[in-house]
Structure 1
Amino acid sequence: MPAHITSLTVELRTDSPAVATSTPRLSWTVAAESPGWQQAWAELRRGDTVVRLEGRDSVLVDWPFAPLAAGERTTITVRAGSTDGDETPWSEPRALWAAFADEWIARPIALAQPIREAQPVLLRRAFHVDRPVRTATLHWTALGVADASLNGAPVDDLVLTPGWTSYRERLVYETSDVTALVREGENALGISLAGGWYTEEYGVLTAPRRFFGDQPRALAQLRLEFTDGTVQTIATGEPGALWRAHGDGPVVSSGIYAGEHVDARRHPVGWDSPGFDDAGWTAPSVVDMPLPALEARMAAPVREIERMPVRAVSRTASGRVLLDFGQNVVGRLRLRLSGPAGTIVTLRHAEVIEGSFDEGAELALRPLRDAAATDSYTLAGTGDEVFEPRFTFHGFRYADIDGWPGEFDPAAVEAIVLGSDLRRTGWFTSSDPLLDRFHENVVWTLRGNYLAVPQDCPQRDERLGWTGDTQLFAPTAEFLFDCHAFLRSWLRDLALEQRRLGGLVPLFAPDVVPGFSDRGPVAAWGDAIAIVPQVLADSSGDVSVLEEFYPGMRAWADLVLSHRDAEGLWTSGRQLADWLDPNAPPNAPSRGRTDTDIVATAYLVKTVRLTAAIARRLGHGADAARYEAAAAETGRAYLDAFVTASGRMMCDTQTAYAITIDFDLADDPTLRRRLGDRLAFVVRRDGYRIATGLVGTAVIAQALTATGHIDAAERLLFQTEAPSWLYPVTVGATTVWERWDGLRPDGSLNPGAMISFNHVALGSVAAWLHADVAGLSAAEPGYRVVRIAPRPLARLRHARARHETPYGPAESGWERTDAGVRVHAEIPPNTTGAVELPDGRTFEVGAGRHEWTIEPAEAGVAVAPVTLESSMADLADDPAAHRAFFATLATRPNRFIARAVAGNALYTPGRSIRDALVFADRATLDAVAEALASAPDPKGTS
Structure 2
Amino acid sequence: MRSTMVTELRCEYLKNPMGLNVPHPRLSWKLLTDRRNVRQMAYRIQVSLGGENFAEEQLVWDSGRVESDESVHVEYGGAKLKSAARYMYRVRVWDDQGEESPWSDSAFWETGLLETDDWQAGWITPSADAIEPQTKEAFYLRKAFELNGKRVVHAAVFATSLGLYELELNGARVGDSLFTPGWTSYNHRLQVQAYDVTEQLLNSQEHVIGAVLADGWYKGRLGWQDRSGIYGDRRGLLLQLHVRYDDGTEQIIASDESWEAFADGPIRMSGIYEGETYDASREIPGWSTLGFDDSVWHPVETLEQSKDMLIGEQSERVKVTEIIKPVSLIHTPAGEIVLDMGQNMVGRMRFTVQAPAGAKLTLHHAEVLDKEGNFYTGNLRTAAQEVTYLCKGGGEESYQPSFTFQGFRYVRLAGFPEPIDLSHFTGEVIHTDMQPTGFFECSHPLINRLQQNIVWGQRGNFLDIPTDCPQRDERLGWTGDAQVFIRTAAFNYGIAPFFTKWLRDLAAEQLPNGGVPFVVPDILDEGSHSSAAWGDAAVICPWTLYQYYGDKRILEEQYDSMTGWVEYIRSQGDNELIWNTGFHFGDWLGLDAKENSYIGATPRDLICTAFFAYSTSLVSKTAAVLGREEDVEKYGDLHRRIVQAFADEFITPNGRLAAHTQTAHVLALMFDLVEGETRKRLADTLAEYVRSENMHLTTGFVGTPYLCHVLSENGYHDIAVQLVQQEEYPSWLYSVKQGATTIWEHWDGIKPDGSFWSDDMNSYNHYSYGAIGDWLYRAVAGLDIDEKIPGCKRLVLRPNPDSGLTYARAQYDSLYGKVFSGWSKREDGSVVYEFQLPPNMTAQVRLPAAAGKSVRVDERDPAEVLMTAPMQQEDGIVMLELGSGRYTVKVG
Q: Same fold (TM over 0.5)?
A: yes
Per-residue deviation, 1:482: 0.5
Aligned pair partner of 2:509 in 497, 508, 519: 497
**Distance in 1 separating the partners of 2:807 and 2:654:** 38
1:832 has 2:873 as partner: no
Please tell me whether the aligned partners of residues 138 and 176 of structure 1 are also in contact (alpha carbons under 8 angstroms). yes
1:75 has 2:75 as partner: no
Q: 1:451 to 1:262 in 2, by over 3 A?
A: same
**Distance in 1 separating the partners of 2:144 and 2:30:** 47
State the superposition RMSD in angstroms. 1.8
**Distance in 2 separating the partners of 1:637 and 1:309:** 57
The 5-angstrom pairing of residues 639-658 of structure 1 reads 639-658=647-666
1:177 has 2:178 as partner: no
The 5-angstrom pairing of residues 670-819 of structure 1 reads 670-751=677-758, 753-779=760-786, 780-817=789-826, 818-819=828-829
Q: 1:99 to 1:461 in 2, by over 3 A?
A: same
Please tell me whether the aligned partners of residues 12 and 27 of structure 2 are also in contact (alpha carbons under 8 angstroms). no
Alignment-derived partner of residue 871 in structure 1: none
1:255 has 2:271 as partner: yes
Aligned pair partner of 1:294 in 310, 331, 334: 310
1:127 has 2:145 as partner: yes
> Percent identity, aligned pairs only?
37
**Deviations 1:225-270 (CA, angstroms, capped at 9, x unpaired):** 233443222212x2x4x21111111110100001011111111111
Question: Which 4+ residue blocks in structure 1 deviate beyond 4 angstroms?
Answer: 99-102
Q: Secondary structure at the match of 1:699?
A: helix
**Distance in 2 separating the partners of 1:233 and 1:167:** 26
**Distance in 2 separating the partners of 1:626 and 1:752:** 47
Alignment-derived partner of residue 353 in structure 2: 337
**Deviations 1:324-347 (CA, angstroms, capped at 9, x unpaired):** 000010001001112111111011
**Distance in 2 separating the partners of 1:772 and 1:213:** 48
- The aligned amino acid for 2:552 is V
The 5-angstrom pairing of residues 125-204 of structure 1 reads 125-132=143-150, 133-182=152-201, 183-204=203-224
Please tell me whether the aligned partners of residues 223 and 476 of structure 2 are also in contact (alpha carbons under 8 angstroms). no
Query: Structure 2: which 5+ residue stretches go unaligned?
Result: 48-53, 57-61, 850-876
**Deviations 1:426-453 (CA, angstroms, capped at 9, x unpaired):** 1111011100110011011111111111
**Distance in 2 separating the partners of 1:207 and 1:331:** 23
**Distance in 1 separating the partners of 2:630 and 2:114:** 40
Q: 1:12 to 1:612 in 2, by over 3 A?
A: same
Please tell me whether the aligned partners of residues 10 and 19 of structure 1 are also in contact (alpha carbons under 8 angstroms). no
The 5-angstrom pairing of residues 456-475 of structure 1 reads 456-475=468-487
Q: Secondary structure at the match of 1:695?
A: coil
- The aligned amino acid for 2:179 is L
**Deviations 1:130-176 (CA, angstroms, capped at 9, x unpaired):** 41333221100111111101010111111111110111111001111
Q: Secondary structure at the match of 1:444?
A: helix
Aligned pair partner of 2:625 in 612, 617, 631: 617
Alignment-derived partner of residue 821 in structure 1: 831
Q: Secondary structure at the match of 1:289?
A: coil
The 5-angstrom pairing of residues 352-391 of structure 1 reads 352-356=368-372, 361-391=373-403
Per-residue deviation, 1:295: 1.0
Please tell me whether the aligned partners of residues 742 and 750 of structure 1 are also in contact (alpha carbons under 8 angstroms). yes
Alignment-derived partner of residue 577 in structure 2: 568
**Distance in 2 separating the partners of 1:6 and 1:395:** 41
**Distance in 2 separating the partners of 1:354 and 1:109:** 48
**Distance in 2 separating the partners of 1:410 and 1:746:** 31
Q: 1:854 to 1:655 in 2, by over 3 A?
A: farther
The 5-angstrom pairing of residues 402-551 of structure 1 reads 402-499=414-511, 501-518=512-529, 521-551=530-560
**Distance in 2 separating the partners of 1:72 and 1:122:** 30
Q: 1:89 to 1:505 in 2, by over 3 A?
A: same
Per-residue deviation, 1:636: 1.0
Query: Structure 1: which 5+ residue stretches go unaligned?
Result: 856-942
Please tell me whether the aligned partners of residues 350 and 426 of structure 2 are also in contact (alpha carbons under 8 angstroms). yes
- The aligned amino acid for 2:778 is A
**Deviations 1:750-797 (CA, angstroms, capped at 9, x unpaired):** 125211111111000111111111111111211111111112234200
Moved more, 705-714 or 834-843: 834-843
**Deviations 1:204-242 (CA, angstroms, capped at 9, x unpaired):** 4x4534311233211111122233443222212x2x4x2
**Distance in 2 separating the partners of 1:408 and 1:147:** 31
**Distance in 1 separating the partners of 2:784 and 2:455:** 18
Q: Secondary structure at the match of 1:834?
A: strand
**Deviations 1:573-597 (CA, angstroms, capped at 9, x unpaired):** 100011111233675312x111111
**Distance in 2 separating the partners of 1:625 and 1:851:** 45
- The aligned amino acid for 1:658 is V
Per-residue deviation, 1:88: 3.0
Please tell me whether the aligned partners of residues 22 and 70 of structure 1 are also in contact (alpha carbons under 8 angstroms). no
Q: Secondary structure at the match of 2:65?
A: strand
Please tell me whether the aligned partners of residues 19 and 158 of structure 2 are also in contact (alpha carbons under 8 angstroms). no
Scaled by the length of structure 2, the TM-score of the pair is 0.92
Scaled by the length of structure 1, the TM-score of the pair is 0.87
**Distance in 1 separating the partners of 2:746 and 2:3:** 49
Aligned pair partner of 1:62 in 75, 94, 99: 75
Moved more, 717-726 or 38-47: 38-47
**Distance in 1 separating the partners of 2:356 and 2:660:** 67
- The aligned amino acid for 1:633 is R
The 5-angstrom pairing of residues 849-928 of structure 1 reads 849-855=886-892
**Distance in 1 separating the partners of 2:595 and 2:462:** 27
**Distance in 2 separating the partners of 1:568 and 1:504:** 17
**Distance in 2 separating the partners of 1:794 and 1:211:** 50
Alignment-derived partner of residue 29 in structure 1: 30
Alignment-derived partner of residue 872 in structure 2: none
Per-residue deviation, 1:281: 1.3
Alignment-derived partner of residue 874 in structure 1: none
**Distance in 1 separating the partners of 2:368 and 2:878:** 49
Alignment-derived partner of residue 235 in structure 2: 216
Alignment-derived partner of residue 875 in structure 1: none
**Deviations 1:550-578 (CA, angstroms, capped at 9, x unpaired):** 01111111110111544831111100011
Please tell me whether the aligned partners of residues 329 and 396 of structure 1 are also in contact (alpha carbons under 8 angstroms). yes
**Distance in 1 separating the partners of 2:39 and 2:524:** 52
Q: Secondary structure at the match of 1:799?
A: strand
**Distance in 2 separating the partners of 1:272 and 1:101:** 29
Please tell me whether the aligned partners of residues 11 and 19 of structure 1 are also in contact (alpha carbons under 8 angstroms). no
**Distance in 1 separating the partners of 2:438 and 2:80:** 34
**Distance in 1 separating the partners of 2:725 and 2:245:** 65
Alignment-derived partner of residue 347 in structure 1: 363
Q: Secondary structure at the match of 1:283?
A: strand
Q: Secondary structure at the match of 1:331?
A: strand
**Distance in 1 separating the partners of 2:636 and 2:702:** 24
**Distance in 2 separating the partners of 1:447 and 1:9:** 25
**Distance in 2 separating the partners of 1:752 and 1:322:** 21
Alignment-derived partner of residue 321 in structure 1: 337
- The aligned amino acid for 2:365 is H
Per-residue deviation, 1:101: 5.3
The 5-angstrom pairing of residues 262-301 of structure 1 reads 262-301=278-317
Q: Secondary structure at the match of 2:726?
A: coil
Please tell me whether the aligned partners of residues 158 and 195 of structure 2 are also in contact (alpha carbons under 8 angstroms). yes
Per-residue deviation, 1:316: 3.2
